[in-house]
Amino acid sequence: MIVAASTECFPELSLPAAFERLVDLEYTSVEVAIHEQSNQLRPSQVAAEFDKALMFCRSTRLTTVSLSLDFTATGEEYYQQFQACCRLAKAMKVVTLVVPAAELGTPFNEEIERLRRLHAIATLEGVLVGLKTQIGCLTENPDTAVVLCDQVKGLGLTLDPSHYVAGPLRGGKYRQVMKYVVNVHLRDSTKDHFQVRVGQGEIEYGRLISELAKENYRRALVVHIAPMEDVDHAGEMRKMRLLLESLL
């Protein structure tokens, strides 16, 4: 396993500036967030200006381990933008794409159809889809997340334990999702607070890493800490990196 960090940790920065900040914090690997409602890089830009987007993503000495995608497009435009992001991943030799799950209330068969089409597109470019475990989405229940993976052969999960600690599961067990995990997002959390300072929450990093190792997980542990008021963000990012590296 390797320790990485998401450019989403720095929502106020441009993509090049986020890269530089991570280098300053002594990270060597990065997950690039490609979100339509961000000021870094957007899926619509990737589709419209592919070569320029590729140049932006390559403008760092950090190793890119995954791409996190979030769209506002609908219909065929959604799939076209996803395909462009798959091409980008292939060009960058990135294997994992992080994709949000459908919101709660979405018909199950409709979500299966979407995921099967995404998986088919991704497979053509040799990349994996890692569906996010997320509060307010179908994957907020680990059993449902497993059923989705069983129904869409080859689909993986991006495990974010905070959504199971602070969400409706309230710190319950989620061991059943481990064999499907292709990416991991990490911060510290409690049952009452989605994000707290590193070391003040309930995430058992050592146990989590041990459970992943049992499934031969060898991919990234992506630090995903948002800025907090009156908290040294850089200090939290460093602390999490050092903690995770000490456990590997």
The tens place of each residue's pLDDT in the chain, 248 residues long, gives: 999 999 999 999 999 999 999 999 999 999 999 999 998 999 999 999 999 999 989 989 999 999 999 999 999 999 999 999 999 999 999 999 999 999 999 999 999 999 999 999 999 999 999 999 999 999 999 999 999 999 999 999 999 999 999 999 888 889 999 999 999 999 999 999 999 999 999 999 999 999 999 999 999 999 999 999 999 999 999 999 999 999 99
Burial 26-47 (b: 16+ CB within 10 A, else e): ebebbbbbbbeeeebbbbbbbb
| 155 DSSP assignment | -
Q: How many structural domains is the chain composed of?
A: 1
246, with CB counted inside 10 A (0-12, 13-18, 19+), is exposed
CA nearest 100: which of 130, 121, 142, 64? 130
| Residue 42 belongs to domain spanning | 2-247
Residue 24 has what pLDDT?
Answer: 96
Q: pTM of the full predicted structure? A: 0.94
SS3 of 32-61: EEEECCCCCCCHHHHHHCHHHHHHHHCCCC
CB 128 within 8 A of CB 89: no
SS3 of 114-146: HHHHHHHHHHHCCCEEEEECCCCEHHHCHHHHH
Instruction: Kindly report the CATH number assigned to the domain that includes residue 213.
Output: 3.20.20.150
Q: CA of 11: how far to CAs of 28, 118, 119, 126, 149, in Å? A: 19, 27, 28, 29, 30
* Calpha distance 114→170 (Å, rounded): 29
Residue type, position 8, single letter: E
Residue 138 has what pLDDT?
Answer: 96
